[in-house]
Structure 1
Amino acid sequence: MSNKLSLEAAAREQLQRASTEDSGRSARTVYGGHEHLLRQTLIALVAGAGLGEHANPGEATVHVLQGRVRLSTDSSSWDGRRGDLIVVPDDRHRLEALEDSAILLTVAKQTRPAPS
């Protein structure tokens, strides 16, 4: 991967892909991956699509690049729109696109303690 990426261009590309997928979503890791502690994933969702309830794999934020989304737990919800940064709670949560949206999910995975 190069040292520079246009998130706006990548978001447009992923939204185009999401519009052709049955799931209504598309994703691309833009930095890091399974071998890194930090991972950033660009996720595009068409209106009404979402990510079902799941656990938080570590510290995480959602940066809304385009559109409007809702991040929810059983007891709270946060709406975000372009430019907003939502801190992902430690609780199980879900994400729904209120309109065609692109987000940058940043996760710092928890490390396992070293064996003693």
Structure 2
Amino acid sequence: MRKQSLIAVARHLMAHAATAASGRSAETVYGGHEQTLRQTVIALMGGQSMGEHGSPGEATVYVLRGRLRVSSGDASWDAMTGDLLVLPRTRHRLDALEDCAMLLTVAKT
């Protein structure tokens, strides 16, 4: 059993993202390339994006802090602190509407 504060991880990553040229920072908190399940905390400063990309499997985003938008084709979904989004299996992008931190969970197929 292992316990970790995602709020503390998010706080640390937000501080790092604020000084990073890319305006983002991430840390895998569970899993990895050799496992099916991977969970990553991602911090994005307001106005930054994760450009259009595909998903290697089923994926969700849980917003730990802030607001973001997920877009796929002509559709978009806004989320804020406490919201859980099931990401589309199609190509999509994430945009930080304000400074935000999220938990990305991916179950690779």
Provide the TM-score with structure 2 as the length reference. Answer: 0.98
Distance in 2 between residues matched to 1:50 and 1:89, nearest whole Å: 17
Letter in 2 for 1:49: Q
In the TM superposition, structure 1's runs of 4+ consecutive aligned residues that sit over 3 Å from their partners are: none
Distance in 2 between residues matched to 1:4 and 1:84, nearest whole Å: 22
Letter in 2 for 1:4: K
Structure 1 residue runs of 5 or longer lacking an equivalent are 111-116
Residue in 1 aligned with 2:14?
A: 15
Distance in 1 between residues matched to 2:73 and 2:32, nearest whole Å: 29
Q: Percent identity?
A: 61
Does the alignment pair 1:96 with 2:92?
no
* 1:56-113 residue CA offsets vs partner (Å, 9 max, x unmatched): 1100000000000000011211100000000000110000100000000000001xxx
Distance in 2 between residues matched to 1:5 and 1:50, nearest whole Å: 26
Residue in 2 aligned with 1:55?
A: 54
Residue in 2 aligned with 1:114?
A: none
Residue in 2 aligned with 1:72?
A: 71
* 1:31-66 residue CA offsets vs partner (Å, 9 max, x unmatched): 000010000000000000110000011000000000
* 1:3-48 residue CA offsets vs partner (Å, 9 max, x unmatched): 0000111100000000011110000000000010000000000000
Larger radius of gyration, structure 1 or 2? Answer: 1
The number of aligned residues is 109
Give the secondary-structure state (helix, strand or coil) at the position aligned to 1:83: coil
Structure 2 residue runs of 5 or longer lacking an equivalent are none
Give the secondary-structure state (helix, strand or coil) at the position aligned to 1:108: strand
Cα-Cα RMSD: 0.8
Residue in 2 aligned with 1:27?
A: 26
Residue in 2 aligned with 1:86?
A: 85
